[in-house]
Structures are given as C-alpha cells and as structure tokens.
Amino acid sequence: KYYLSEVPEYYEGYDKQCGYVSKCYGDRSCPNQELFGEYEKEAFIKAVAELLSNEEKAQNSCYRIGQSEFDFGLFQTKSIKPNEDLDVRRTLTTEKFLKTLAKKVGKCQLRNLLDGKCSTNVTLSCCNGVEQITCDPDNPYRSYDGSCNNLQNPTWGRRGNALKHPIAPCYSDLVSKPARSKSGLPLPQNRKVISELADFLEKYGPTSSSSLNMFMVMWMEMINSDMIGRANKRAQCATQGFRGCRADGRDRSAFVSMLSNPLRMPSDDPYYGESGVSCLHFSPQEKANDRCEIKHAGERNMESSYLDLSCMYGESPNYDEKGKLPLYHCGASEPITQAAPITVQFAAIVGLFGKLHNYCVDRIRSCPKSKGSVQERCRALTIGVYQKIIYGQLLPLLFGEELYNLCGLDCEYNPYAESTVSQTYKNGPGRFAHVWITDEMMYKQEGRTEWRPFNEFFRNHESFDCTGTLAGALETPINTARLVDAIVNKFYTIDGERGSCLPCIDLARNRDAGLCPLVTYKHFIEQAVGEESNCYNTFEDLGDMFSPELIEFFARHYEHPGDIDVLFANMDQRAYSGANMPKLVSQSTCLEFKRLKCTDRFFYTWNPNLGEGAQHLIEILDFTALLALFTDMDEVPLEPFLVDSAKAAAVDVRNYLESVNYLYCQI
Ligand code: HEM
Ligand SMILES: [Ca+2]
C-alpha cells in the first residue's frame, strides 16, 4: 500500500541513483552569517518599496486590465486585508533576502543553508513575536478557516498557509530564477511547446473516447477550488487583474509592474502569428512565508486544504437569521459569485450543495425539538455528503479498482501529518483535467438541445437556465483526444477569436514554482509508493511512458529527457487497470487525497459529532438525490459522472427522500 510519505527535507534520489553527481556532493560548507543582518535590512527596504509601489499602481487604472478587455477577471486579485499586511511584508522581505543570498554566497553554501544543514536560527529578526491560537478541544464544529482542526498544531491546514514542496525546487539559482536545461540553456519556449503539442495531438492523439462527462470535470474543479485557492500577487484593493500587455496584445505594456509577468507569443505562432498578438497576460503568485523562515517558501493557499467546502462557505459564517446561506443564481453562494473565472456549470454544481444546506435548515426547523446550532449541523451534514461523494464515488471511478485499493485510503485520523497540498500537484499533475475540457458544451433550453462554445459559459450566468446547464454537462463527453482550441487559443475569449491559453498558463506556473523535471518527480513518487524506478539517459528510455511519436516530439523540443517539464505527466500513457487518469497523475492524486482525508479530524467517517440521522443521510444523499431535489429534471442519472447513464424518475427519488425526512431531526 501507498504510505503517507514522510518527505525528506532535500530530495536528491533521482540524481543520486542515476549517476548525476551533484557538484555539492561532500560539500558541507555554510555561508558566513556576519552579513545576514545587513542583507535583511536591505531586503526590508526593498520589500517596503515594492509594496508601496504596488499600492500606487493598483490605484492607477493604466496598470489594471480594463473592463472591456477579454481577460478582465482572468487574473483577479483579492485584497490584502489590514491584518494580513504584516504577513505579506514579512514574506516579501524574506524572499528579497534569499535573492540577495543567491547572489552573494556560493551555491553549495546556499543549498546547505536551505536544506537546514547549517546551524542557525531559521527565522529572520523581522518576524519576532509569534501569534498564538487557542483552540477549544470541545468545539464540535469545524472553524471556517481550517484552524484548530489539528489541536496540537492549530495552524495546520488553515487558509493562507503555504503549499509544501515535496522535493526541493529546481530553480537554477535555488531560490527564484527559472530552471535551465542540463547543458545550461533555457528550457523550450512556453507557447511554442504548447501550440506544437496541440498540433501534434491533432495528428497523433489517441482516437479513444470516454464515457466520463463534463459534469464530473466541473465537480472535480469544485473540489480543487476547495483545497487550493490561488493568490495572484495582491494589493490592498481587490482588482480584476494587473496589466502586462497592451490591450491589443501586440506588445508588452509600458505599465508592467511586479504584479504582472506576461508571456511571450512567438511571431510565427500557428494561431496568433497572423493577428500580431505577441503578449499574453500572466500574474505571478504570492508566496507565504509569514514566519520569515530561511527555507524554500511555497505559494500561498487562499483556501483551507481540508475538503470542507471552504470555497462555498467562505472565510467566516454568513447566514440569515434562520441559518440559511444567502444564495444567488443556480444556488451559488456569495463567495462563489465573487470568484472568477467561473463557468455557470461550476456555479450550479456548487449550488447543489448550497441548496442542500438550506434544505437541511428547513427540515431541522420543522422538527419538534432540536439541539445545537442549526447552521453548523447542516454544514456538517453538507460537508459529509460532499466528502462521501469524493471518496466513495469519484476516486474509485478515477483510480480504478487496482489503484483505489493500493492507495490505502482506508486510513485512520493521523494528527501527526500536516494537512497541506503539494506545490507540485498544484502547478503540475493536479492540472491534468484541463486536457479534458471540450470545445463545446451541451446546453438544454426549453427542451431544445444546443451545443455552445466553452467560453460562453463564463459570463452572464443569469442568462442560463440552471437545470438546462446541468443536464447539458451530464451529456457532454469529456475530450480525450486533443488540446482543443477552446483552451489553447480561445480560453476565456469574448469575441470567439482572441483568448488566453490555459495550458500555457499551466506550464508557466510549473516553471514559476521551480518544479523539478518530470523524471525527478516520477522517481520521487515511485520511492514514496515503493516501486522500482528507471533512469532516463536517452529519449528512447522514455518508451515506458510515451509513444514513439511523442518521444520524438519531446526530443525535438528538449535537449535531454531529464529536462522535460513535470506538467507533461499529463501525457503519460500508462494507467492502472480500470483507471481514468494517467499513472503518474493518479499516483500524485492518490497521495494528495489520502493526506487530505487522513489529516482531517472532522472527516465524516470518524467525526463523533455527527448524529445517527446525519450518518444515515450521508449514506443516502448523492448527486442523484441532489439533482432530483434541486433541479427541474424529470429524470435523474444514477451514474452522474457518465454520459448515457441509466436514469430514474425524479419524482420517485423525491418521494423516497421525503420518506426519510425524519432523519433530519436526529442529525
Ligand atoms: C472545467 C473547467 C475548468 C476550468 C475552466 C479551469 C480553469 C482553471 C484556471 C483558469 C486556473 C488558473 C490558472 C492559473 O492562473 O494558474 C486553474 C487552475 C487549476 N486547475 Fe483548473 N479548470 C477547470 C477544471 C479543473 C479540474 C477538473 C481540475 C482537477 C481537479 C483542475 C485543476 C486545477 C488546478 C490544480 C489548478 C491550480 C490551482 C488553482 O489555481 O486553483 N481544474 N484552472
Ligand atoms: Ca477547504
């Protein structure tokens, strides 16, 4: 069985095993710390200056993407709240400090320092004074930000924490400069690899189809937004994105700032070459190192890592006087209406859970007697149903029986492991499902079936009928053959012509976060799960993962098999038997979901505060029930993640559910 990997501080397994001897091998030297105080002072000044300049730019509309531009909202930034100000400054100060060190001290010395091999106090002086959280161990309900889930370590899993690097990042200077190829040259250009991969798949891509549907994809997206909330670099006021390109995309803008880092589009691009668009927006992510630790800092996670519907319930309780959530179109809660980019299908799926919460409140209120907080008991039920569908229905389908059993999801609560999402998952293999997105989605309006371009669903949600939206998603098969136009060229477009490139953003994130190469990560996972590993000295060695044509493609773009970006784990052609994801992606997904389950003190299967009624209802309620209760469908699917599922009459389902309404009184 896969075990929850205790990750080494610095992992050099692949290089060691495959004979790439590190230049620092045997070098135990540490940097001279005499000047650290000096560097820190300088770093502080730089950080303060940058933050001031960011504030000034955020006030100036020239620096913001305008309302009429297609990518307005695509790189939305939240506000830095007054109480977060200090954290952001400390994080930035430490980042600047490390960048200075990268310039001033030798690489092996820096490496030893970052690996914790040098005796030193590991935090900078700017972080003196640590906040204390006190938890009430008898509180039967989850907090809204995830704190106090782990009683010994109240901050574990909390909103705002850093993602963790499972292996030390592979920046070329160890702290921030992009990785380079083995020979020292830059890696292949982002847009060029992606657009040519799209062309390649057009020619050689698999011809298989899948019976999974887009409803499942959007449901996975919802789970994703519950465990990861990205933080594009922020200023004190929220924005819909900072500008790096001119509005016409023909060049970088004069208003580029530290808040933006646009991507280059080559002039011979197969899609954009003609139009002269040569610049795509991209926003760097905020890091989180609020304790000024001298270590590899991860990106800030704006959601609690627990699968607790934090993306729907928000940062703090927000209910009406009865305990109901204020809900908007298709049942979207307030935080969902504020997020971008969001498709109406996504909003409608989250909406089913918002409606379940409110339905539960109504049921409890009609009970003869009830004890405890109505909203919190309904929240616990709703989260229980949600977790049940993830672990009981979705993962078995994605993993297939072999991996599902191997993965060892039958763990008990483990208070010694930290709840966190890995940096690699977020910016690499976790984005795998983006290749499933289709050019068009089905939409059913007043009995008519239409196919509409993917981009249309991002805006004017109110103009869509919620039942028709969900019914269409259920009958739209996922794309398995190609990287479609809708994500490579027209992502988030308004006019159907000019859009963004989601896989390009994915690759840029992969590189920005300093993720190590594919083969290194593969080796790491294989160690964690106890499998044998290969070394990759020639491109032919990749024959265990990729087809000969794809190997040839990579050989044309990369100098060495050990240079290939980990994002391309999504092209792995191996799979566990019965699985619906590539092997490396499914292994990575297994480790993440196992950690999130086993570190959650309130996971529904062991939460002692769920009454018998709640436990029974969690068994009964699933998407079939939610669709019957909260949409106008006449027939509801029995296998909601598959197209052409067998169906049941919604009235029958509703009648059955009414017969168990008494359970809400024993919640
Ligand atoms: C179906 C529609 C989907 C759309 C339109 C979509 C779109 C996006 C966008 C725009 C981003 C932010 C890109 C960036 O700035 O870094 C993103 C990030 C991400 N997506 Fe998706 N995605 C979808 C489905 C999924 C699914 C099914 C998964 C798999 C579970 C997934 C996994 C991720 C991950 C791990 C990230 C990075 C973390 C984050 O920013 O939340 N996405 N997605
Ligand atoms: Ca969460």
Q: Is the CB of 595 under 6 A from ligand 1?
A: no
Q: Which residues of 329-357 are buried (b: 16+ CB within 10 A; e: fewer)?
A: bbbbbebbeebebbbbbbbbbbbbbbbbb
Give a yes or no: residue 292 inside a domain: no
Question: Per residue in 472-508, pLDDT tens?
Answer: 999 999 999 899 999 999 999 999 999 999 999 999 9
Measured from the alpha carbon of residue 220, the closest ligand is 1
From 434, 470, 585, mutation site for ligand 1 pocket: most ligand atoms within 8 A of C-beta: 434
Structure tokens at 215: 């409803």
Q: Which atom of ligand 1 is closest in space to residue 458's alpha carbon?
A: 5
Query: Nearest CA to 244 among 259, 256, 234?
Result: 256
User: What per-residue confidence (pLDDT) applies to 11?
Assistant: 56
User: What per-residue confidence (pLDDT) applies to 1?
Assistant: 46
User: What per-residue confidence (pLDDT) applies to 13?
Assistant: 77
Q: Is the CB of 437 under 6 A from ligand 1?
A: yes
Task: Compare 21 and 435 and report the one with higher pLDDT.
Answer: 435
Give a yes or no: residue 629 inside a domain: yes
Give a yes or no: residue 427 inside a domain: yes
Residue-number span of the structural domain to which 515 is assigned: 11-30+132-229+302-665
Question: Per residue in 409-461, pLDDT tens?
Answer: 999 999 999 999 999 999 999 999 999 999 999 999 988 999 999 999 999 99
Residue type, 525: I
Burial class (CB in 10 A: 0-12, 13-18, 19+), 138: exposed
Q: What is the largest CA-CA distance in the chain?
A: 76
Atom 2 (ligand 1) nearest CA: 218
With a threshold of 0.90, does the pTM exceed it?
yes
Share of the chain above pLDDT 70, in %: 98
What confidence tier does 9 reach under pLDDT thresholds 50, 70, 90? very low
- How many Å lie between the centroid of ligand 1 and the Cα of residue 44? 34
User: What per-residue confidence (pLDDT) applies to 5?
Assistant: 47
User: What per-residue confidence (pLDDT) applies to 10?
Assistant: 44
Give a yes or no: residue 475 inside a domain: yes
Q: Which residues of 5-35 are buried (b: 16+ CB within 10 A; e: fewer)?
A: beeeeebbebbeebeeeeebeeeeebbeeee
CA distance 84 to 94: 16
In the three-class reduction of DSSP (H, G, I as helix; E, B as strand; rest coil), residue 362 is classed as helix
Give a yes or no: residue 244 inside a domain: no
Residue type, 40: E
Helix (H) or strand (E) holding 281: none
Cα four-point dihedral sign 438, 440, 445, 449: negative
Atom 17 (ligand 1) nearest CA: 431
Q: Is the CB of 430 under 6 A from ligand 1?
A: yes
Question: Per residue in 337-348, pLDDT tens?
Answer: 999 999 999 999
- How many Å lie between the centroid of ligand 1 and the Cα of residue 463? 24
What confidence tier does 186 reach under pLDDT thresholds 50, 70, 90? very high
- How many Å lie between the centroid of ligand 1 and the Cα of residue 227? 12
Q: Which atom of ligand 1 is closest in space to residue 218's alpha carbon?
A: 1
Share of the chain above pLDDT 90, in %: 90
Helices of type H across 187-329: 190-204, 214-227, 310-313
Which whole number is the average pLDDT over 219-229?
98
Question: Per residue in 80-115, pLDDT tens?
Answer: 999 999 999 999 999 999 999 999 999 999 999 998
Angle between helices 395-407 and 583-598 (to 10 degrees): 80
Q: Residues comprising the binding site?
A: 434
491 bridge partner residues: 500
- Mean pLDDT over all residues of the chain? 95
From 305, 431, 480, mutation site for ligand 1 pocket: most ligand atoms within 8 A of C-beta: 431
Q: Is the CB of 487 under 6 A from ligand 1?
A: no
User: What per-residue confidence (pLDDT) applies to 12?
Assistant: 65
Q: Is the CB of 230 under 6 A from ligand 1?
A: yes
State yes or no: pLDDT of 16 exceeds 90: no
Identify whether the C-beta of residue 591 lies closer than 8 Å to the C-beta of residue 408.
Answer: no
Measured from the alpha carbon of residue 427, the closest ligand is 1
State yes or no: pLDDT of 130 exceeds 70: no
CA distance 475 to 214: 8
Q: Which atom of ligand 1 is closest in space to residue 282's alpha carbon?
A: 15
State yes or no: pLDDT of 37 exceeds 60: yes
Q: Which atom of ligand 1 is closest in space to residue 217's alpha carbon?
A: 27
Count of other CB atoms within 10 angstroms of residue 207: 7
**Domain of 174: which CATH number?**
1.10.640.10
Which whole number is the average pLDDT over 51-66?
98
- How many Å lie between the centroid of ligand 2 and the Cα of residue 584? 24
Q: Residues comprising the binding site for heme b?
A: 434
Identify whether the C-beta of residue 236 lies closer than 8 Å to the C-beta of residue 80.
Answer: yes
Which whole number is the average pLDDT over 284-310?
97
Q: Is the CB of 166 under 6 A from ligand 1?
A: no
Question: Per residue in 578-627, pLDDT tens?
Answer: 999 999 999 999 999 999 999 999 999 999 999 999 999 999 999 999 99
Q: Is the CB of 226 under 6 A from ligand 1?
A: no
User: What per-residue confidence (pLDDT) applies to 660?
Assistant: 97
- How many Å lie between the centroid of ligand 2 and the Cα of residue 234? 21
| Total of domains in the chain | 1
Q: Is the CB of 220 under 6 A from ligand 1?
A: yes
Give a yes or no: residue 236 inside a domain: no
Give a yes or no: residue 410 inside a domain: yes
Query: Nearest CA to 612 among 666, 563, 570?
Result: 666
- What letter does residue 450 receive in the DSSP assignment? E
Give a yes or no: residue 461 inside a domain: yes
- How many Å lie between the centroid of ligand 1 and the Cα of residue 120? 39
Q: Is the CB of 224 under 6 A from ligand 1?
A: yes
Helices of type H across 429-517: 466-474, 485-488, 502-512
Sequence-distant (≥ 6) Cβ neighbours of residue 573 within 8 angstroms: 545, 546, 547, 550, 582
